[in-house]
């Protein structure tokens, strides 16, 4: 649906304001119900037994002693699931190991018992005989011939001969002639960059409550980014009809992509089925870190050539991403996004998807892009500084704009990269003085954004207020945004609309809350649903007035005759029309079902000042400014919140967060003590500058804003630390021991 050009910024009455969110009071009073907050009569506690080995063949599982323990009502192993359709084979294998345990923490059995204490005891009574196998957790090691192979025969035809079986697939993007371009450069930077695996770090552990009847009807309460996905996947695994399984999304305590897949849900349903009782499962924090979906660790080679005036002549990157124990690392998106901010004649990326003995990677906010941006933006920074050029000017010179052929194929429509760069260049932050041991870094970032299957149903109540039902869990204020767009479109006050997240029985298919799609796609469907309701209300008014439908228009919350020729009738408000709806044809509603397209790519530029302690290698973030194109900021406070939250997750990734595996392949830091996400005292305020370059694909110009903010910070912080420490940092996290070692090595 195209941008509605008649809707100018000044025309918006609700969009662009900052009303209180509808779920605000529930969330500040403790009333909001999250995944673990639900109970059911007769409920059992479900627990999972997990592999203590990084890689082991499961020779035998004996559950008889556990089953005999009083209070144990069901025990589940992989055998209970039987054969499943191909498209969910890896999913169930990740939720419950089959022949092999593939990583530390991989589920091997589950129990439902009358209490947590009984369940704990029962887990210890399950006997598992393992044959421990050699393991590999590092991406480069896993690619070498001779590395322990996780899945024989999984390699795809895209992989040339000579690679380990852990290399699953190869992708390639780009255009032009790299070698010819490099030959024209005055300088070529060629470096290898590495990033650690990080976790989304949502504060709410996974939780669900399942019931399953003998007649094949199931109900699931779950914290997820997509309850329709949960329904479809669980139905496939358990052999249910999708319509028989109703999934209700709880309030969700953070996801960032990590709750776009299932872990507990099929197991809980199977336990509920076998026990005939409701089963609640809640992960511990250590289970979350060991056995959910962290991001890929990477190793990336970059070669970029630049003329001494700053023009990039060619850009190449080879990206190696390990995505854990199953195929599907986000290396494809890393490869597509790496050079997306630039207008390049010669550009190529090659990506390798690699499996290792780690938990399968799930999406994490712009999956695959931050690591690629770290490598590319570091190399560009090094080149610019090597020529004594202003790194923002270099980006302005090479930046992508409308009409640029993107490195991954398409030609860009109106985009906002240049606007963010210009805003950054003229911002006081850019020219603020720096002290000793301080450095400033900038970097750009890109994200595709998605649309996808979306349904919205909008109902007008008899008193003329409005309810909006949508199918995407509200992860950061989206109910407020939908309410605002419905109110805007209908011309009624914000408080006359209430938006709810409907269960899977109430709407058609909805794509998960991912790809920064909700404000864009659900917003679009909400606007269309409101337009449908308006058409209907105009029709009712026309009927009452006895004039043609075409002679009625909607303005400011009321139907009005379209012009002097239509007749002289006083406007009928939504309340007046609703009050007589039973006499004019029945209840009034609008709905819209769509596979949304035209999401509109999003760009950002980040700027950060740091101070590095030369004696300890510790980095302090002094100042941070985010510049990003939001298309149209529906609720600016929550747009700022996305910018700030993404930036801080990126700061954590850059400085301290990483999965640390021991020689034994066991995760060493499965807790918030040593998996170090930023705390309040680590940070300054995060300043934001919202640019609004309307997305041509949305009636109000909205672009997704949620993911782009995590793309630039890894590189921005690395560029700042490199400047402050006087040595180029090429590996994340830039933990103090690593920075100190680099400083000392540079000193000689």
Partner 1 sequence: MRYEAPQDVEAAVRILAAEQGAYVLAGGTDLLVKLRSEMVEPEVVVDIKRIAGMKAITAEDGGWRIGAAVSGAEMGEHAGLVADWPGVVEAAGLIGSTQVQGRATLTGNLCNASPAADSVPAMVAAGAVARVVGPQGTRDVDVIDIPKGPGKTTLAAGEFIASVFLPARGARSGDAYLRFIPRTEMDIAVVGCGISLSLDAEGRVTAARVALGAVGPKVILVEAAAAAIKRRVLDEATLSDLAEACSAAATPIEDKRGTVDFRRHVAGVLARRAAVIAEARAKGEKA
Partner 2 sequence: MSRIHVTTKINGDETEFLCDAEATLLDVLRDELGLTGTKEGCGTGDCGACSVTVDGRLVCSCLMLGAEAEGREIATIEGMAAGEVLHPLQQKFIEMAALQCGICTPGILVAAKSLLERNPDPSEEEVRYWLAGNLCRCTGYDKIIRAVMETAADMRRAS
- H-helix or E-strand spanning residue 744: helix 736-747
Query: What kind and span of H or E run contains 654?
Result: helix 636-655
Which segment (79-87, 543-551, 612-620, 683-691) binds partner 2 by CB under 8 A? 683-691
Is position 27 an interface residue for partner 2 (rule: CB under 8 A)?
yes
Binding status of residue 731 toward partner 1 by CB under 8 A: no
**Closer Cβ to partner 1, 636 or 736, answer by number:** 736
CB of 65 to partner 2, least distance (A): 21
| Choice from 451, 452, 477, 694 touching partner 2 (CB under 8 A) | 477
Residue with token string 């593939």: 102
Alpha-carbon distance of 334 to 465, in angstroms, equals 45
The stretches of 276-318 forming alpha helices (DSSP H) are 285-291
Figure out which of the listed residues 294, 351, 391, 476 binds partner 2, where binding follows CB under 8 A. 476
Does residue 660 touch partner 1 according to CB under 8 A?
Answer: yes
Q: What is the CA radius of gyration of the chain?
A: 27
DSSP three-state, residue 296: coil
Position 21 contacts partner 2 (CB under 8 A): yes
Residue 449: closest CA among 248, 171, 696, 638: 696
Residue 65 interacts, among partner 2, partner 1, none and using kind-specific CB cut-offs from 5 to 8 Å, with none
Do residues 406 and 340 lie in contact, with contact meaning Cβ atoms separated by under 8 Å?
yes
Q: Which is nearer to partner 1, 411 or 668 (CB)?
A: 668
Out of 584, 682, 726, 731, name the contact with partner 1 by CB under 8 A: 682
Among the listed residues 71, 176, 216, 254, the single contact to partner 2 using CB under 8 A: 254
Site for partner 1 contains 668 (CB under 8 A): yes
Please name which of 257, 477, 450 lies closest in space to residue 368, comparing C-alpha atoms. Answer: 257
Q: Does 286 bind partner 1 (CB under 8 A)?
A: yes
Closest CB 683 distance from partner 1, rounded Å: 9
Residue 40 neighbours by CB under 8 Å, 6+ apart: 209, 211, 278, 280
* Nearby residues of 266 by Cβ (< 8 Å), 6 or more positions away: 81, 91, 92, 95, 96, 233, 234, 237, 238
Q: Which residues within the stretch 91-120 sit at the binding site for partner 2 (CB under 8 A)?
A: 117
What is the token pair recorded at 387? 């020529």
CB-nearer residue toward partner 2: 425 or 606: 606
Q: What is the full DSSP assignment across 366-391?
A: STTHHHHHHHHHHHHHHHHHHTT--H
618 binds, among partner 2, partner 1, none (CB under 5 to 8 A by kind): partner 1
Q: Tokens 């001779």 identify what position?
A: 146
If binding is defined by CB under 8 A, does position 39 make contact with partner 1?
no
| Burial call 436-448: b when 16+ CB within 10 Å, e when fewer | eebbbbbbbbbbb
> Do residues 728 and 190 make contact, with C-beta atoms less than 8 angstroms apart?
no
Q: Are 315 and 376 in contact (CB under 8 A)?
A: yes
Eight-class DSSP state of 495: G
Nearer to partner 1, 20 or 744 (CB): 744
Q: Which residue number, 387 or 672, has a Cβ lying nearer to partner 1?
A: 672
Span interacting with partner 2, options 299-307, 471-479, 506-514, 734-742, rule CB under 8 A: 471-479
Strand 619-629, strand 686-691: pairing: parallel
In the complex, least distance from residue 221 CB atom to partner 2, rounded to whole angstroms: 13
**Helices assigned H by DSSP within 387-416:** 391-398
- Contact between 671 and partner 2 by CB under 8 A: the answer reads yes
Q: Which does residue 203 touch among partner 1, partner 2, none (CB within 5 to 8 A, set by kind)?
A: partner 2
3-state secondary structure 713-726: HHHHHHHHHHHHHC
32 vs 618, beta carbon nearer partner 1: 618
Q: How far is CA 566 from CA 535, 550, 561, 577, in A?
A: 16, 9, 5, 18
Query: Does 712 engage in binding with partner 2 (CB under 8 A)?
Result: no
Q: Does 677 bind partner 2 (CB under 8 A)?
A: yes
- Indicate whether 200 belongs to the interface with partner 2 (CB under 8 A): yes
- Based on the shown chain and the rule CB under 8 A, indicate whether residue 252 belongs to the binding site for partner 2: yes
Cα atoms in the 13 Å half-sphere on the side-chain side of 399: 24
Cβ within 8 Å of residue 463, ≥6 positions away: 575, 578, 579
| Min separation Cβ 573 and partner 2, Å | 29
Q: Which is nearer to partner 2, 355 or 497 (CB)?
A: 497
| Preceding peptide of 575 cis, ω within 30° | no
Rank residues 359 and 617 by Cβ distance to partner 1 and give the closer one. Answer: 617
CB of 163 to partner 2, least distance (A): 37
Among residue numbers 615 through 654, which ones bind partner 2 (CB under 8 A)? 635, 637-638, 640-641, 644-649
Q: What is the spatial order of strands in the sheet that 245-249 belongs to?
A: 72-76, 107-113, 44-50, 279-282, 207-212, 218-222, 245-249
The alpha carbon dihedral of 262, 263, 268, 274 has a sign of positive
For residue 36, the partner it binds in partner 1, partner 2, none, with Cβ less than 5 to 8 A by kind, is partner 2
Nearer to partner 1, 568 or 747 (CB): 747
Task: Based on the shown chain and the rule CB under 8 A, indicate whether residue 107 belongs to the binding site for partner 1.
Answer: no
The residues with which 289 forms a beta bridge, in sequence order, are none
Question: Does 660 contact partner 2 by CB under 8 A?
Answer: no
Site string for partner 1, 602-621 (x = CB under 8 A): -------------xxxx---
Q: Nearer Cβ to partner 1, position 159 or 618?
A: 618
Partners of 465 in the β-ladder: none
DSSP string across 255-281: -TTTTSS-SSHHHHHHHHHHHTS-EEE
Span of 134-142, 198-206, 509-517, 731-739 interacting with partner 1 by CB under 8 A: 731-739
List the Cα angle 732/368/300 in 5-degree steps: 50
Instruction: Tell me if 285 contacts partner 2 by CB under 8 A.
Output: yes
Of 180-188, 252-260, 483-491, 654-662, which part binds partner 1 (CB under 8 A)?
Answer: 654-662
Shortest separation between residue 52's beta carbon and partner 1, angstroms: 13
Binding status of residue 40 toward partner 2 by CB under 8 A: no
Nearer to partner 2, 169 or 198 (CB): 198
The answer to whether 656 contacts partner 1 (rule: CB under 8 A) is yes
Rounded CA separation 243/227 (Å): 13
Which stretch, 77-85, 200-208, 590-598, 665-673, contacts partner 1 (CB under 8 A)? 665-673
CB of 136 to partner 1, least distance (A): 19
Interface positions with partner 1 (CB under 8 A): 120, 284, 286, 615-618, 655-656, 660, 668-669, 672-674, 676, 678-679, 681-682, 735-737, 740-741, 744
Interface positions with partner 2 (CB under 8 A): 18, 20-21, 23-25, 27-34, 36-37, 117, 200-205, 251-256, 282, 284-285, 475-477, 635, 637-638, 640-641, 644-649, 671-673, 677-681, 683, 685-686
């Amino acid at each position: 649906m195209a941008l509605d050009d008649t809707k100018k910024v000044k025309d918006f009455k609700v969009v662009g304001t900052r009303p209180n969110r509808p779920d605000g009071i529930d969330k500040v009073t403790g009333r909001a119900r999250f995944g673990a907050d639900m109970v059911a009569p007769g409920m059992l506690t479900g627990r999972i037994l997990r592999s203590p080995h990084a890689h082991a063949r499961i020779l035998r599982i004996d559950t008889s002693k556990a089953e005999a323990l009083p209070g144990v009502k069901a025990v589940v192993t992989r055998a209970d699931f039987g054969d499943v359709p191909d498209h969910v084979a890896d999913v169930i294998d990740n939720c419950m190991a089959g022949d092999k345990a593939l990583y530390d923490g991989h589920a091997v059995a589950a129990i439902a018992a009358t209490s947590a204490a009984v369940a704990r005891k029962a887990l210890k009574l399950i006997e598992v005989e393992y044959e421990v196998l050699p393991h590999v957790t590092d991406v480069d090691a896993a690619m070498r011939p001779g590395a322990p192979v996780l899945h024989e025969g999984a390699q795809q035809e895209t992989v040339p001969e000579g690679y380990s079986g852990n290399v699953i697939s190869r992708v390639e993007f780009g255009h032009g002639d790299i070698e010819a371009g490099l030959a024209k450069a005055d300088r070529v930077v060629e470096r290898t960059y590495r990033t650690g695996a990080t976790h989304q770090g949502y504060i709410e552990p996974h939780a669900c409550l399942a019931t399953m009847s003998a007649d094949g009807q199931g109900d699931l309460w779950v914290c997820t980014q997509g309850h329709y996905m949960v329904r479809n996947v669980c139905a496939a695994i358990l052999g249910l009809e999708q319509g028989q399984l109703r999934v209700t999304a709880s309030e969700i305590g953070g996801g960032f992509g990590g709750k776009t897949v299932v872990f507990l849900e099929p197991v809980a349903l199977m336990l509920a089925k076998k026990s005939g009782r409701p089963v609640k499962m809640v992960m511990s924090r250590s289970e979350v870190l060991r056995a959910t979906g962290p991001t890929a660790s990477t190793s990336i080679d970059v070669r970029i050539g630049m003329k001494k005036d700053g023009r990039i002549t060619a850009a190449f990157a080879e990206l190696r991403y390990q995505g854990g124990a199953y195929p599907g690392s986000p290396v494809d998106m890393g490869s597509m996004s790496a050079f997306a901010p630039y207008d390049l004649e010669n550009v190529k990326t090659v990506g390798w998807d690699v499996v290792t003995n780690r938990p399968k990677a799930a999406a994490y906010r712009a999956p695959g892009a931050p690591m690629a941006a770290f490598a590319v933006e570091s190399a560009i920074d090094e080149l610019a500084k090597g020529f004594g050029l202003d790194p923002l000017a270099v980006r302005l010179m090479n930046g992508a704009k409308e009409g640029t052929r993107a490195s991954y194929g398409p030609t860009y429509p109106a985009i906002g990269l240049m606007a963010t760069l210009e805003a950054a260049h003229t911002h006081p932050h850019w020219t603020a003085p720096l002290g000793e041991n301080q450095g400033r870094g900038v970097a750009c970032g890109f994200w595709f954004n998605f649309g996808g299957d979306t349904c919205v149903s909008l109902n007008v109540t008899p008193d003329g207020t409005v309810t909006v039902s949508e199918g995407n869990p509200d992860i950061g204020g989206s109910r407020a945004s939908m309410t605002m767009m419905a109110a805007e479109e209908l011309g009624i006050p914000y408080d006359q609309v209430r938006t709810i997240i409907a269960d899977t029985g109430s709407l058609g298919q909805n794509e998960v809350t991912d790809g920064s799609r909700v404000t864009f796609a659900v917003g679009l469907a909400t606007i269309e649903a409101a337009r449908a309701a308006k058409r209907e209300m105009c029709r009712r008014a026309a009927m009452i007035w006895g004039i043609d439908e075409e002679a009625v228009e909607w303005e400011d919350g009321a139907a009005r005759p379209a012009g002097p020729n239509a007749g002289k009738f006083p406007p009928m408000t939504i309340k007046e029309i609703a009050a007589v709806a039973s006499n004019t044809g029945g209840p009034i509603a609008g709905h819209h079902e769509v596979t949304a397209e035209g999401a509109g790519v999003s760009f950002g530029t980040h700027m950060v000042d740091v101070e590095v302690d030369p004696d300890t290698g510790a980095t302090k973030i002094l100042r941070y400014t985010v510049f990003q194109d939001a298309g149209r900021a529906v609720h600016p406070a929550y747009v700022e919140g996305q910018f700030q939250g993404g930036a801080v997750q990126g700061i954590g990734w850059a400085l301290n967060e990483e999965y640390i595996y021991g020689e034994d392949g066991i995760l060493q830091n499965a807790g918030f003590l040593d998996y170090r996400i930023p705390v309040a005292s680590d940070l300054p305020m995060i300043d934001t500058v919202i640019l609004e370059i309307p997305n041509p694909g949305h009636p109000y110009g909205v672009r997704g804003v949620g993911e782009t903010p995590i793309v630039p910070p890894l590189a921005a912080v690395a560029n700042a630390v490199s400047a402050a420490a006087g040595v180029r940092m090429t590996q994340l996290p830039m933990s103090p021991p690593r920075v100190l070692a680099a400083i000392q090595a540079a000193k000689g």
